[in-house]
Amino acid sequence: MTKRIGRYLPAALVFVGVLGLWELAVRAFGIQQFLLPPPSSIAAAFVEHFDELMTVGRNTLVEAVGGLVIGGVAALVVAFAIARWASASRALLPFAIAANSVPIIAFAPIMNNWFGILNPLSKMMVVAVLVFFPIMINTLRGLTLVDQASLELMRSYAASERAIFAKVRVPNALPYIFTALKVSATLSLIGAIVAEYFGGARSVLGQFIITEAAFFRFANAWAAIVVASAVSIAFFLIILAIERVAIPWHASARIVDSS
C-alpha cells in the first residue's frame, strides 16, 4: 500500500505544484479573468454550478457513449465481414479507407439537419463516424494478423473456417479491439463536444462552454472543461477496467514482478 502511494506521489506533487504556480502567476502578474482564471475561482465556479455541471457532463457522456456504441458495432460488423469474406473486403475496404480521409467534423451541421439539432442522436452520429475507422481497422488487423503456426495447428485438426474464426481470430483480435476502444473513448468525447459547438440542446458541455464564454463567465467555462476532462479520463479508465477483466491473459494485464 505504501508502495502504491510512493508510485503516484511524484505525479501528485507535480499536479499540486502546477496548480500552485498557476495561482501564483495569475495573482502576481494580474492576469485578466477572461484570459486565464486562477484555479481558486475555477474551483469556486465548480462548487457553485456543481449540479448543472453534473447534468451537462452526463448528457454529453450519454452522447459520447451512444456514439461509441453505434460506431463500434458498425465497425465490428464491417471488420468481421471483411475478415470472413474476401469479396466483402474488396467491396467495403475502399469505402472504409475513403471515409477515414473525410474530416468528419465537417458533417456535424449536416447531422444536425438530418437527426434534429436538439436530438442527441445527431451528436451520436458524429461520434459514431469519428470512431468507426480506428475500431474497424484495428479489429481487422487483429482478425488477420494471426500467427501462421496457430492456423497450421488448427488445419492439422481439420478445423472449419468457423472454428478458426471463433477460437483463433476473435481471441487474437480482442487486445486490438480494446486498444482501439481506449483511443476511441477520448475521441468520442472530443467528437461529442465539438458537435455540440455547432448547436444543440442547452444542457450539454459544448453549449454550456459556449454560452458561459459568451457572457465572459470564464471560470464557469473552465470548470466545464475540467468536467469534460474528468469524464474523458473516467471513460478511458472504465474501458481499461473492462479490458482487464475481459482479457486477463493479455500481456498488458499480466502482473509484472517488479520489486
Interacting residues with other proteins (CB under 8 A) = 147, 149-150, 152-159, 163, 167-168, 171-172, 174, 247, 249-251, 254
Kindly state the smallest distance separating residue 154's Cβ from other proteins, in Å. 7
Cβ atoms of 137 and 213 closer than 8 Å: no
Minimum CB separation of residue 248 from other proteins in Å reads 8
Alpha-carbon dihedral sign for residues 113, 115, 118, 120: negative
Task: Answer whether 186's CB lies under 8 Å from 232's CB.
Answer: yes
For other proteins, give the closer residue by CB, 171 or 199. Answer: 171
Q: Which residues contact 51 (CB under 8 A, 6 or more apart)?
A: none
The residue with cell 475521441 is: 187
CB of 243 to other proteins, least distance (A): 13
Residue among 4 and 162 whose Cβ is closer to other proteins: 162
Distance CA 27, CA 5 (A): 32
**Nearest-CA neighbor of 133 among 208, 172, 175, 184?**
184
Cβ at position 153, least distance to other proteins in Å: 5
Name which of 157 and 215 has its Cβ closer to other proteins: 157
DSSP conformation class of 30: T
Cβ neighbours around 31 below 10 Å, total: 14
Residue (40 or 144) nearer to other proteins, CB: 144
Closer residue to other proteins in complex, CB, 172/179: 172
258, with CB counted inside 10 A (0-12, 13-18, 19+), is exposed
Closest approach of other proteins to the CB of residue 72, in Å: 21
Nearest approach in angstroms of CB 79 to other proteins is 19
Closest CB to other proteins among 43 and 253? 253
Q: Is 145 exposed, middle or buried (0-12, 13-18, 19+ CB in 10 A)?
A: exposed
User: For 108-124, b where at least 16 C-beta lie within 10 A, e where not — what string?
Assistant: beebbeebeeeebbbbb
Residue 73 · residue 131 · CB < 8 Å = no
Judged by beta carbon, residue 172 or residue 203, the one nearer other proteins is 172
Distance in Å, CB of 122 to other proteins, minimum: 39
